[in-house]
């Protein structure tokens, strides 16, 4: 692990010799040039007094770095997350001290939970005032230390270039995550000689653990002898750019698999070995087969409680192989038989080379009854309703993904619409799923979608939001308006905090306490921001509205009034056995 308390530059932060120091420039100029040296071309932020020297320096670099002025600092971080998740780059957010810095906490925590590489830069009061409760001073180090890979307060101008180099290395290497740099105002203003050297090595920090050949052989042997293998695909595959290596691995040994929410787009939805999503609202077949397989192969996932349910009953019959880059994940939740430590892009091919070509047709055929049962009891009614009535969330998601030929980036907020989107949106390429997984942050969707569009400007970005989450960050309509961000926003409006209402119906005797929302006219609000919009209340209007949205050259808000008290099924009650699955409407397995 990284020592977060390091407060002096490490003289061997790079094995390469530092460039000769020549030009004398301000700390703010050093910061901007250091960001350019790391390849930063886009960042998201909000100015203020303690960071003003940096924004002044930024004025002279408008052609090199695009700064997107968001309307709230939390959204700067969420936008940087969306940018990082689709672009394979480090996201950057730039904010001021005090409330500017503390407003980033939710986004930083979200990034830490979902292993998103970020560098968040905050201004700070002059170093002589630190600890004096000066105007807009906050203990950024103390507040962010538990939710970052590394945090460092820069008090000297001489340390800026070094700290930036180290920050980008730590954020992007190994298991990615957020880093915070807190820069005192005098360090921004003072001058020194500038040189920059990219960090390639840090003493006491090993981002990728060494591969143990014994574990590779043991994993291959278990898989070769397995009669009922099942793989669980996580985001680590995407973060490690190991999609091709995963495909080769799965296909050679003919291993069926399910995916975590964040791992969904690692493999195409229509791959014949893909049996869908794991977890509380995941597909029935992979959840049921978790407790029937003989070898469970977890790849780049952390056995989150929403995937495992009750650990006392989870996969007790299976031998567990766990591939992960972070040794801290081994045996944290689920006892591992074989731990394959390392980067999946490196370790998967090593195991694949030792695998025998297999065919598990009989085992895969056992998935079919569960697939059919789920389709008949849930999916058919959700995606292809025949009895009229209110529009369903699932059918909206299906129509949108089909209209984009399954090539769009799906960004979601958090709630029922998130589960419906992850269940029914289809993926044909990687880095197409952007959602708040570990933290479950309402308000994430809109700013993350803005960032995703900057990270992948040539791709269609569809943002699915609920009426509750949208209103948490609806001010980012202003960012969309100012920069003409071409995102497609699909508001699935049921006038409720839908997921909380669902739990109240199932577990709190339908006592709907503080979950009904009296909503504004969202289309009028969008119009005030010069965002084209349309509200759909009838099913026969839906196809035309989606076509209009996708054809429109610019941002578009499609509000769809969906069933007021819709439910997301299947559902595994919180803390229940992974096979204790509710199908709804009186249906049972």
Task: Give the closest residue to 274 by CA, choosing from 262, 242, 578, 263.
Answer: 263
- Per the listing, tokens 């009028």 go with 524
Task: Give the closest residue to 196 by CA, choosing from 23, 37, 57.
Answer: 37
Q: Verify whether residue 135 is a known catalytic residue.
A: yes
Candidates 89, 166, 185, 426; catalytic one? 185
Candidates 113, 419, 472, 499; catalytic one? 499
Task: List, in order, residues 6 or more apart from 90 with CB less than 8 Å away.
Answer: 38, 40, 84, 117, 118, 119, 168, 171, 172
* DSSP output for 183-234: EEHHHHHSEEE--------BTTB-SSPPP-HHHHHHHHHHHHH-SSEEEEE-
Question: Considering just the CA atoms, what is the radius of gyration of the chain in Å?
Answer: 25
Nearest-angstrom CA–CA distance, 54 and 32:
8
Candidates 7, 19, 21, 135; catalytic one? 135
Instruction: Cite the beta strand spans of 281-327 per DSSP E.
Output: 295-299, 319-324
Nearest-angstrom CA–CA distance, 135 and 133:
7
Q: Verify whether residue 20 is a known catalytic residue.
A: no
- Per the listing, tokens 């990284």 go with 2
Nearest-angstrom CA–CA distance, 67 and 44:
6
Candidates 38, 43, 44, 73; catalytic one? 73
Q: Do residues 25 and 194 make contact, with C-beta atoms less than 8 angstroms apart?
A: yes
Task: Give the closest residue to 74 by CA, choosing from 113, 43, 42, 108.
Answer: 108
Nearest-angstrom CA–CA distance, 67 and 81:
15
Q: Verify whether residue 81 is a known catalytic residue.
A: no
Q: Do residues 184 and 155 make contact, with C-beta atoms less than 8 angstroms apart?
A: yes
CA distances from 216 to 206, 230, 342, 570 (A): 20, 18, 11, 36
Q: Are strands 229-233 and 433-434 parallel, antiparallel or unpaired?
A: unpaired
Task: Give the closest residue to 537 by CA, choosing from 382, 328, 363, 390.
Answer: 390
- Per the listing, tokens 């507040």 go with 143
Give the pair of three-digit tokens for residue 489. Answer: 């926003």
Q: Which residues are catalytic?
A: 73, 135-136, 185, 499
């Amino acid at each position: 692990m990284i020592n977060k308390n390091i407060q002096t530059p490490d003289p061997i932060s790079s094995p390469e010799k530092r460039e000769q120091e020549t030009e004398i420039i301000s700390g703010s100029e050093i910061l901007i040039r250091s960001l350019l040296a790391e390849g930063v071309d886009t960042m998201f932020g909000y100015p203020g007094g303690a960071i003003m020297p940096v924004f002044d320096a930024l004025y002279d670099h408008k052609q090199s770095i695009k700064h997107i002025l968001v309307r709230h600092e939390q959204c700067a971080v969420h936008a940087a997350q969306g940018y990082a998740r689709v672009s394979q780059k480090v996201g950057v957010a730039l904010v001021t001290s005090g409330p500017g810095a503390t407003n980033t906490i939710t986004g930083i925590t979200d990034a830490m939970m979902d292993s998103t590489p970020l560098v968040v830069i905050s201004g700070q009061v002059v170093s002589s005032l630190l600890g004096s409760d000066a105007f807009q001073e906050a203990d950024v180090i103390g507040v962010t230390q538990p939710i970052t890979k590394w945090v460092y307060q820069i008090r000297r101008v001489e340390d800026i270039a070094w700290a930036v180099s180290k920050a980008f290395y730590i954020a992007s290497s190994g298991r990615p995550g957020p880093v915070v740099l807190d820069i005192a105002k005098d360090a921004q203003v003072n001058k020194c000689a500038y040189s920059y050297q990219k960090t390639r090595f840090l003493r006491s920090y090993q981002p990728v653990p060494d591969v143990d050949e014994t574990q590779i052989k043991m994993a291959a042997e278990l898989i070769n002898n397995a009669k009922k293998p099942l793989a669980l695909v996580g985001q680590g595959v995407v973060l490690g750019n190991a999609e091709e290596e995963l495909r080769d691995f799965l296909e050679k040994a003919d291993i069926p698999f399910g995916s975590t929410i964040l791992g969904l787009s690692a493999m195409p939805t229509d791959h014949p070995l893909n049996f869908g999503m794991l977890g509380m609202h995941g597909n029935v077949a992979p959840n049921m087969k978790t407790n029937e397989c003989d070898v469970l192969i977890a790849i780049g996932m952390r056995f989150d409680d929403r995937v495992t349910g009750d650990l006392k009953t989870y996969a007790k019959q299976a031998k567990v192989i766990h591939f992960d880059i972070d040794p801290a994940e081994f045996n944290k939740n689920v006892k591992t038989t074989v731990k394959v430590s390392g980067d999946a892009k490196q370790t998967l091919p090593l195991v694949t080379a030792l695998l025998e070509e297999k065919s598990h047709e009989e085992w895969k055929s056992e998935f079919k009854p569960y697939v059919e049962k789920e389709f008949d009891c849930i999916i058919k009614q959700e995606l292809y309703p025949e009895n009229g009535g209110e529009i369903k969330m699932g059918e909206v998601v299906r129509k949108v993904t089909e209209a984009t030929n399954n090539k769009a980036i799906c960004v979601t907020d958090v709630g029922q619409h998130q589960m419906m989107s992850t269940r029914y949106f289809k993926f044909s390429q990687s880095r197409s799923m952007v959602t708040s997984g570990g933290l479950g942050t309402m308000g994430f969707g809109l700013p993350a979608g803005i960032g995703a569009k900057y990270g992948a400007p040539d791709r269609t970005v569809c943002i699915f939001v609920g009426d509750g989450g949208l209103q948490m960050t609806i001010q980012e309509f202003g960012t969309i308006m100012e920069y003409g961000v071409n995102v497609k926003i699909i508001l699935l409006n049921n006038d409720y905090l839908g997921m909380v209402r669902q739990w109240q119906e199932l577990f709190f005797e339908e006592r709907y306490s503080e979950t009904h929302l009296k909503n504004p006219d969202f289309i009028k609000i969008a119009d005030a921001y010069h965002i084209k919009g349309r509200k759909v209340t009838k099913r026969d209007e839906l196809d035309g509205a989606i076509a209009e949205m996708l054809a429109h050259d610019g941002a578009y808000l499609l509000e769809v009034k969906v069933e007021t008290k819709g439910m997301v099924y299947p559902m595994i009650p919180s803390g229940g056995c992974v096979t204790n699955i509710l199908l709804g409407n009186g249906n049972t397995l």
